[in-house]
A and B are shown apart, each in its own frame.
Chain A
Amino acid sequence: MGMMTLYHGEPNGPSLTVLAALYETGLDADLVPIDLSLGERHRKAPLGVESAMSIEGEGPVLEVNGEAMADSVFLAQYLDERAGGAGLQPSDPLAHWEMMMWCRYIIERVAPAAAYLGNRAHGTARLKNLDGPAFDMLTDAISSVDLKQRWIDIRNGDFDEAKVADSATKISEAVDKLEERLADGRDWLMGDFSIADLESYAWLAGMVSILPSAFDRAENATAWMVRVKARPSVAAALACAQSDDPTTAWAPGPEINRWG
């Protein structure tokens, strides 16, 4: 089926999902760490149309058979299916639909909000350290016009206060939704462990320090986060970190829905 090479960033957000999914499946892949927060994806990873135009923004790239694949949920599904079904997706059609609906909610509503807040807290300061020519070199390599604009906005510290407030609301709502989902005492979001747990954890782990109030009364969600983090696959993914605290590693993520 072709060797796999995974170009990944710090284990936070999409890189965390894909690294952990890889360890869940036990498949072999060459791991190449790159600094997504400095735009290295556009110079050090192979890019095709799907990875250059990825809706996820700056996520990991998986190269197989000369094709540069992107988008963390779909990469996790690919790994699970390539392994012949590693148990990361329910086989019942309704349960599968439910998992995909959950993941879609995370991708469309939660990830853009988390990326907005994460980059505001950590991305701007980092990019301001780059001098003009170095930043121009970074953005010149980016072919997606709207992704490039998100880089520029982050470096300029150009965050719309209404979007900041709305993003905080979306994160709080997501935590409430987790809390409610876990209220029946289940360990994992879909009953059995699945990609939904990985994707939700990957985007929310960095929100605990940025928006602690969202987690204040969320006992179930907090206990679930401890469980996810303790899984051997997630622990192995976190061990790939090059920095002390990967939850502070952010790069431009998905855009906030243009229709509001």
Chain B
Amino acid sequence: MTEQVALYHWEPNANSGKPMLALAEKGVAYESHYTDLLSFDQHKPEYLKMNPNGTIPVMKHGDRVLTESTAIMEYVNEAFDGTALMPEDVQARWRIRWWMKFMDQWLGPSFSMLGWSMFVGPSVRQKDPAELDAAIERIPLPERRTAWRKAISGNFSDAEMAESKRRVALGVEMLEAELGRHDYVASDEYSLADINWFNSTYSLPLGQPDLAGKDRTPNIMRWLKQVYHRPAVQETWTKGRTDLASRYRLVMEEID
């Protein structure tokens, strides 16, 4: 397959970071379309024509249009030659899928609730409220509209925030234990599960030092360091434009 690959992504972080890192690991060159989440680029008519759900990232491969970051990674792994990002061992493949889903569906939403309340919400709220409202109205899916309203207003209840904090703390504990059982997340080889988890946990030692650090979570620190030094990670991180990129460097310094 020699068709052109184009990726519509935000920062090399959370969901956008997944296909970026998978493509970099495979050595697949792609046309990068930086899509600014904070300017609601993903809700503009031309973007919605491509992905009616208005979610980032989107990958085009020839005339194929793919959405949903974890599913895109699996496609990338199957459609391109290069380093295998899923092991041959069938039981390990099951485990990798389980850990990715656990992040995507159970832990990830809690990470994003905390991230939104601390970082994205405050920066978006500096925009004109009428403009924000119009941007939300453009989102076709009602449940996405609800999620964005919640995210922008920052109106998470105390109970919701407490539940998210509980999940993040438990998720970090589970990851630490898992990295005691295996060299990498869910297996002894670097895989899609590592890319998936790394994108949401790389800044933990900086953002949540009470949960993760040299003394408290030595396995996680060992793993973060291994992943940090992968050429694909280094190359991908240069594509970041916001403060997140400088946070990476701070975390690196802390670890090295």
State the A residues within 8 Å of B (CB).
Answer: 1, 49-50, 53-55, 64-65, 67, 69-71, 74-75, 77-78, 81-82, 93-94, 96-97, 100-101, 104, 107-108, 145-146, 254, 257-260
Contacts and interface: CB of A to CB of B under 8 A. Distances in A.
Contact of A50 (B75, B95, B150): B95
A234 to B, nearest CB: 22
Nearest to A65: B91
A53 B75 contact: no
A260 B147 contact: yes
A104 B68 contact: yes
Contacts of B113: 258-259
A257 B105 CA distance: 8
28 contacts: A1-B91, A49-B178, A55-B105, A74-B94, A74-B97, A74-B98, A75-B94, A77-B97, A78-B91, A78-B94, A82-B90, A94-B79, A96-B74, A96-B75, A97-B66, A97-B75, A100-B71, A100-B74, A104-B71, A108-B105, A145-B166, A146-B163, A254-B105, A258-B110, A258-B113, A259-B109, A259-B146, A260-B147
Interface string B68-108: 10011011001100000000001101110111011001100
A81 B64 CA distance: 26
A64 B89 CA distance: 13
Contacts of A81: 90, 93
Query: For A65, A82, A100, A258, which residue has the most chain B Cβ atoms within 10 angstroms?
Result: A258
A236 B75 CA distance: 33
Contact of B79 (A50, A77, A93): A93
Nearest to B98: A50
B59 to A, nearest CB: 10
A93 B98 contact: no
Nearest to A101: B71
Interface string B200-237: 00000000000000000000000000000000000000
B109 A97 contact: no
Contacts of A104: 68, 71
A64 B98 contact: no
Nearest to B94: A78
A162 to B, nearest CB: 11
B118 interface: no
B160 interface: yes
Contact of A49 (B91, B101, B174): B174
A255 to B, nearest CB: 8
A107 to B, nearest CB: 8
B128 interface: no
Nearest to A82: B90
A2 B66 CA distance: 37
Contacts of A54: 98
B98 A97 contact: no
Nearest to A51: B98
Interface in B34-85: 64, 66-68, 71-72, 74-75, 78-79
B254 interface: no
Contacts of A69: 91, 94-95, 98
A254 B36 CA distance: 32
Contacts of B143: 257, 259-260
Contacts of A64: 91
Give the 10 A-B residue pairs with the shortest CB-CB distance, closest first.
A93-B78, A260-B146, A93-B79, A78-B94, A259-B147, A97-B75, A74-B97, A81-B90, A82-B90, A50-B98
A71 B71 contact: no
Contacts of A77: 93-94, 97
Given A67-B91, A77-B97, A259-B143, 15 more contacts: A54-B98, A55-B101, A74-B94, A74-B98, A78-B93, A81-B93, A93-B79, A97-B74, A107-B101, A146-B163, A254-B105, A257-B109, A259-B146, A260-B143, A260-B147
A90 to B, nearest CB: 10
A109 to B, nearest CB: 9
B28 interface: no
Contact of B160 (A55, A257, A258): A258
Nearest to B75: A97
Given A74-B97, A75-B94, A96-B78, A258 B102 contact: no
B250 interface: no
Contacts of B71: 97, 100-101, 104
